[in-house]
Amino acid sequence: MTVDTDPTTARAVAARAAPALAILEMPGRQGVGFVVSPEGYLVTNLHVVAGADEVHVVLADEQFLQVQEVIALDEKRDLAVLRLPSHEVEPLRLAPESHPGEGDALFILLPTGGGMLGLLETRVHAVQVLDESLTFLELEAALPEDASGGPVLDASGALVGVATCAFADGRPVTIVIPSRYLLPLIARPEAQPLSALALAKAPAPRPRQVPTHPLSLLEGSPTDAIEEIALSIMQAIQLGAPAYNRGDPESCYRLYARTAERILQERSDCPGALAALRAGFQRCSQHDDDMDACAWALRDTFDGLLHVIDRWLQAQAAFARMAAPKSYLQ
């Protein structure tokens, strides 16, 4: 998807970033990365290079280099930092202080074949907080699967993060791992031989089953009640996600379950939301005593409700604006 940005801005972003783009060649596959430091540090997604016993790199000026060593691996955030031999490439400028929000325009630099570069223009669809250790951006545009690891830039050409092709609810989505997670990897390099990639495990996220509800689910529900449900769910996630991340899925599930049960008891004026919560408990019943699966079943239930509540509140606000009295200059 393209967005309405000044073509001059897009060209300037591409021109500044192009020298740092790298095509990664490994036996039987390719990937994308980019240079982020004068020391030749090269960033990509871990899943792009995991298991490779050799990695060659083609830069925009047609330099053909071989990765010498591994600087850092972050399995949680799907990041890898490798090191190239000495070369003269202007690295990308990191923007660790950048926090793009919903609707902000971003640019993804990617190779398009035949030595050509493409610039994918898109916007932030949502800011997703997975847990206390990872917040990422979900973009509107679809990223080619072989373009994972490419740089995501703002209008100034600064690096916002790493473009990653992921999957949610069985469909591909484009996410951005923010550049602030790169800083500690680069600041405290721990050089390892290239063979470390053979042992690295690409992240295998649990398949999400977030329900997609129609707006009619909330028909007839009072706005204040809907907002209270959303607040209760968000507070539960803020407490439950860290517990899960500490390795305690049972505490996470119990907290989610108490929140859902309280809503079921107190919010009879929101029958659609209650039906969604009951469906979540029904999914939990299919997992017996698997607390991990139960925690995710309720988290998916919560996320599905939050999504439809957000859309419903936006629709209500739009209707209110349409119905507002108009004033005209006399």
What are the domain boundaries of the chain? Answer: 7-199, 215-321
How many Å apart are CA 52 and CA 50, to the nearest integer? 6
What average pLDDT does the structure give for the chain? 83
Tens-place pLDDT, residues 229-259: 999 999 998 888 777 766 788 898 999 999 9
219 within 8 A of 273, measured Cβ to Cβ: no
3-state secondary structure 139-207: ECCCCCHHHCCCEEECCCCCEEEEEEEEEECCEEEEEEEEHHHCHHHHHCCCCEECCHHHHCCCCCCCC
- pLDDT at residue 192 tops 80: yes
129 within 8 A of 240, measured Cβ to Cβ: no
Q: Would you say domain 7-199 falls under CATH 2.130.10.10?
A: no
The residue with greater pLDDT, 216 or 314, is 216
Q: Residues with Cβ < 8 Å from 308, sequence gap 6 or more?
A: 212, 213, 214, 215, 217, 218
Asked if the domains 7-199 and 215-321 are classified in one and the same CATH topology, the answer is no
For residue 168, what pLDDT is reported? 62
DSSP 324: S
CATH of domain 215-321: 1.20.120
Tens-place pLDDT, residues 23-75: 898 887 888 999 998 888 999 999 899 888 889 998 877 888 888 899 999 98
